[in-house]
Structure 1
Amino acid sequence: MKINPFVGTIAALLATVGAAQAAPTLLTASNVPALAGASVIDFNNAATGNFTSRDFGGVTISTSTANGLAVDSIYSGSYATSGRYVTNYNNGGTLTFSFATAVSAFGFNWGAADQAWTMQVFDLQNVLLSTLNIAAQTSSSGYAGFIGANGNGSTIGSFKLTSAGSTDYVLIDNLRTVAANVPEPGSLALAGLGLALAIGASRRRKSAQAV
């Protein structure tokens, strides 16, 4: 059976788009291609003090525990921090990061995490894309490191951090985000329309040839 070249081209394009949206994967370093050109929130201009939910330039950080988060600088210079940073000062429960605009990748300095954590990554519709395991930090690393996620073609709307233990006092600094290139709904609709028209034209030609 012959395939209309136009139909084949559109089908291949749609297959490529679908294949590009793989599940997000864990990042453990900031100098990776996925974070190239990232915007950085260093919290240094943020007012200190406790909070439950707070926006930091388009990224809202919240917790399930009232006033369980804080902007602080007590341990500045240690645990992968410099200047001010965000911490679950009152041992807040799940930490949620919500992006005002979808991102393709994110990451941040991560310190004092001596317990294992999990990171759940969601899309803009709050659909779970991936659950990533974060190992506990050790003294050999100075209880300091970097974690994040690469969307691998999937757009990210939020993520949640949950400690494997009951509580774990952690510090977060230099939050990096890369804005996602979200396809316009009209572009996808046009691609689908083009495919439908191409299939229809192919069928009409076959009908004409059969007469």
Structure 2
Amino acid sequence: MALFKTFSAAAIAGVMASVSAPASAATIQGLGSPGAAVSGTDVTVEDFTSSVGFSGTSLSLGGVTISSTGGELFSVSTDYAGQYNTTGASLQSPVGYPSEFRFDFATATDAFAFNFGASDTDWTIAAYSAGNSLIDSLTFAAVSASNAGEYFGISGSGISYALLTAASPNDYILLDNLTYNGAAPVPLPAAAWMLIAGLGGLVGVRRLRRAA
């Protein structure tokens, strides 16, 4: 009986572990709208329109807070709208020229991406879990004057925050259309529920026999 109970518990735990394992992480990059690569539930697009005129070290947009890790100033402006992969207002660096930005998501996300332009050095985007474990990272080359719609990001289960870091200081960058989704729960497959129910039933039968 003890052996059966141990087996049942181990089997159920194994099933639960297999269905709750995080989805494989991956990098995101392409041309056009980041929304083409970010799907799922509660997709949000931050186009910075409501923040035009902002200048500071931390910008809260409801579902995400963007800050400079070194305390340098950055701004939101319509300067260069329609250029450097922007469609309107954009987050811009040339106030204090931050070399690293941090994105803190109010609720864990499974994917995020943004249009990025005007950079003259490599940048790296790295996504982390709430426990500070690296989920994935992507280093991309200078975009320079391109206006082809380059976007970059990360997908992976349970992204809590991300860091965007420059390879060299004092780089003028523009960032627009920050797109992210709400983390979707991993559904339990029907077969797994059947297995759990079956194991539970066997345990019940064993208990009834023992009681008799």
* Alpha-carbon distance in 2 for matches of 1:118, 1:156: 16
Find the counterpart in structure 2 of residue 77 from structure 1: 82
**Is 2:106 aligned against 1:105?**
no
Is 1:25 matched with 2:26? yes
Report the equivalent of 2:189: none
Alignment of 1:125 with 2:131, yes or no, is yes
How high is the TM-score relative to the length of structure 1? 0.74
Partner residue of 1:35? 39
Task: State the partner residue of 2:59.
Answer: 54
Equivalent residue letter for 1:40: V
TM-score by length of 2: 0.74
Stretches of structure 1 that go unaligned for 5 or more consecutive residues are 184-190
After superposition, give the CA deviation of every residue in 1:154-189 in whole Å (9 maximum; x if it has no partner).
Answer: 211110011111232111111111000257xxxxxx
**2:121: which partner in 1?**
115
* Identity score, percent: 29
Question: Residue type matched to 2:74 in 1?
Answer: L
Alignment map for 1:88-167 (pairs within 5 Å): 88-90=93-95, 91-139=97-145, 141-142=146-147, 144-151=149-156, 154-167=157-170
In the TM superposition, residue 134 of structure 1 has moved relative to its aligned partner by 1.7
2:51 aligns to what SS in structure 1? Answer: coil
In the other structure, the counterpart of 2:190 is none
**2:49 aligns with one of 22, 44, 50:** 44
2:182 alignment counterpart: 179
DSSP-derived class of the 2:18 partner:
helix
The C-alpha deviation readout for 1:76-112, integer Å capped at 9, x for no partner, is 1101112211011231121001011111111111111
- For residues 109 and 25 of structure 1, the distance between their equivalents in structure 2, rounded to whole angstroms, comes to 17
Matched letter for residue 143 of structure 2: Q
Instruction: Kindly tell me the number of residue pairs found equivalent between the two proteins.
Output: 188
- Asked if the contact 1:111–1:143 (Cα under 8 Å) also holds between the matched residues in 2, the reply is no
Task: Give the corresponding residue for 1:188.
Answer: none
Summarize the Cα distance change of 1:142–1:84 in structure 2 as closer, same or farther, 3 Å threshold: closer
Question: Do the aligned partners of 2:115 and 2:150 also contact (CA within 8 Å) in 1?
Answer: yes
Instruction: For residue 126 of structure 1, report the CA deviation from its aligned partner.
Output: 2.7
SS, match of residue 124 in structure 1:
coil
CA RMSD of aligned residues (A): 3.3
Residues 46-55 or 32-41, more deviating: 32-41
